[in-house]
Amino acid sequence: MAYFMDKCRGNLAFIIGFCAIGFLGIGNITFAASNVELDERCKLGGMSKIEQESHRLGAQLQQWNQVYRLSGNSQISDEAYDQLLYQWQSLRRCLGLSEELPEVVLPKKAQLTKHPTPHTGLKKLTESKVYEWVDSRREIWLQPKVDGVAVTLVYQNGHLISMISRGNGIEGLEWRDKADFISAIPKQISLQKNVVLQGELFWQLNEHIQAKDGGINARNKIAGWLMRKTSPQKNEPNIGVFIWAWPGGESEPEKQFEHLALLGFPLAKQYSHRIENKAQVKQWREYYYQSKLPFATDGIVLKNYPFPDVLAWQPNQNSWAIAWKYPLRSVVSEVKHLQFKVGRTGRVSVVATINPINLEGKNISKVSVGSLASWEKKDLIEGDKVTVSLSGLGTPKIENVIWRLETRVYPDLSTFERFNSLSCLTYTEHCLQQFVARLTWLGKSLKIKGISEVTWRDWVENHQLTELTTWLRQDWQNALPKNKRNSSSIKQFQSVKFQLTPLWLKGLGIPLPKTKIEQLIRLEGLHDSVEIERLSLTRKQKEKLEKWLATPEIQLALQAIQKLKANESLTE
């Protein structure tokens, strides 16, 4: 299967040929889950829908391939492409159809040049398969898998005569004219004979850490530069070259790396390491994933020396070199459900329930989409496919919607238009979410412990908690079922009368900055023009405060708090 996938993607990127599939390298819980899901769909039927989705997804993959191949720009990440391709193949299996995408039709005007030695490609293996491969071989060397554009450099009698894109491994585009403007490529070498080198053009970066920075579109920068229709006007100092194969060169790796450095290609010597055991493989992979490097990488490459004779090199057939990709930075999943939640201020947030995935050891089934405006901008509905990654703090986030259902059925959002900063100050059925959110915030502001949102919701739905201060009333507390949880909560309520006025005002959502709220030490001060003037409020702040104070529900809440404070004074 690894061979098939390498062959498939190699053909699809026929001209540019700088793909890096990693199909087996990302064979983790995510692909397994996707496969189970699709297999279930096969069993349950619905073949017409499966056939329709297969047709649309196949057409989309072809379109991405065409852009990728002819313009040199990738509209979708390798990781996302690989996963969607896998899902498309699963759909095709349901239908009993071929799992191989047809080749993109090439423009007749495309002039192709044959490689003197074919590009063999790499099999991408999982960790366990990598270890099996290592156990069965000797003389293994490791290099970082540089993320760039693969080329062949051809020297004749010491002069560079050709630079060919990888293409389909047999032939590709002739880029010799572009090579003149890449200072990292020697135009003349000291070896006066025919020399064929295979390597990677990469965009030079400054202290790039792959685990933190990702690919940052470095490969597309190279491709975009190479595919410009106009000739370069000056040298491009940001392009480097990493030679990873010398067909017919020195058979001993150390001598080969040394010789390459003398010819003007020093990076292979600097970034090649002899491997003695499996532990070293994992250590070097982690090292290159976490270390500062001058280029982007997407894994490591392991090579078994000596290589076969060049006559045995065939496209997409390579038993002496493999790749182990880095962990997935983003995973494709399907949105199963969208939940619209109204917060205490009336702001609507959207949470997506997705098919469960695993990222960096975390099982993820829910992802925040953000505000209603963010959701509308993403144009996301149930059934769409998204890429999910982790933020710097480890919070899952939706990066992109990469596959949308053709039929777009959107939920009715008209009910959310009624919510604002002054709505749902008392309970009604349509106000449940915002009212409970207000109570939860009030309890948190007053430092009430042990009462969760679930408890507040239960009291609202089942125990007539209808106003923001209902829970302060003795008769309401007495009517609660007698149990340990409620007894503990009532004890908590006794302490709130000692809380300072600013905490009450914050909990009720007074529309003022924290620094202004902290200056209001008495509730009476809200109606004292002198104290209000001392706050130095802006005109807009004054208008918001006046509107808030004029709201009947707020007036009742303030009266209840005032009464509580008065009883406290009498007790003292």
The predicted pLDDT at position 3 comes to: 31
CATH for 112-325 is 3.30.470.30
The predicted pLDDT at position 66 comes to: 67
Q: Where are the domains of the chain?
A: 2-95, 112-325, 330-405, 419-571
Taking alpha carbons only, the member of 513, 519, 506, 521 closest to residue 565 is 521
- Rounded to whole angstroms, how far apart are CA atoms 250 and 52? 53
Q: Look at 72-86, 115-129, 253-267, 278-292 and tell me which has the smallest mean pLDDT.
A: 72-86
- Rounded to whole angstroms, how far apart are CA atoms 509 and 549? 11
Q: Write down the CATH superfamily of domain 330-405.
A: Nucleic acid-binding proteins (2.40.50.140)
Amino acid (one-letter) located at 141: W
- DSSP states along 293-324: ESS-EEEEEEEESSPPPGGG-BTTB-SSEEEE
Amino acid (one-letter) located at 187: K
Note whether 364 and 357 are within 8 A (CB). yes
Query: What does the buried/exposed string (b/e) look like for 245-263 if buried means 16 or more CB atoms within 10 Å of the residue's CB?
Result: bbbebeeebeebbebbeeb
Task: Given the residues 123, 124, 145, 325, select the one marked as catalytic.
Answer: 145
On the question of pLDDT at 86 being above 90, the answer is: no
- Beta-carbon count within 10 A of 532 CB: 17
Q: Look at 118-127, 200-209, 265-274 and tell me which has the smallest mean pLDDT.
A: 118-127
Q: Which residue has the tokens 């572009």?
A: 178
Q: Which two tokens stand for residue 537?
A: 């409020």
- Rounded to whole angstroms, how far apart are CA atoms 276 and 6? 28
On the question of pLDDT at 26 being above 60, the answer is: no
The predicted pLDDT at position 299 comes to: 94
The predicted pLDDT at position 380 comes to: 95
The predicted pLDDT at position 69 comes to: 56
DSSP 161: E
Q: What angle do CA 360, 363, 366 make, to 5 degrees?
A: 120
- Rounded to whole angstroms, how far apart are CA atoms 18 and 201? 10
Q: What is the per-residue pLDDT across 468-518, written as a single tens digit (0 to 9) for each?
A: 999 999 999 999 999 998 999 998 898 888 899 999 999 999 999 999 999
Q: Residue 436: helix, strand or coil by DSSP? A: helix
Reported confidence tier of residue 444, pLDDT bands at 50, 70, 90:
very high
Q: Residue 149: helix, strand or coil by DSSP? A: strand
Rounded mean pLDDT, 508-529: 93
- Beta-carbon count within 10 A of 36 CB: 12
Q: Which two tokens stand for residue 168?
A: 């389909």
The predicted pLDDT at position 146 comes to: 95
CA distances from 521 to 441, 516, 525, 537, 559 (A): 20, 10, 8, 16, 16
Q: Look up 145 and say whether it is catalytic.
A: yes
Note whether 490 and 462 are within 8 A (CB). no
Question: Strand 123-124 vs strand 321-325: parallel, antiparallel, or unpaired?
Answer: parallel
The predicted pLDDT at position 29 comes to: 34
Q: Residue 273: helix, strand or coil by DSSP? A: strand
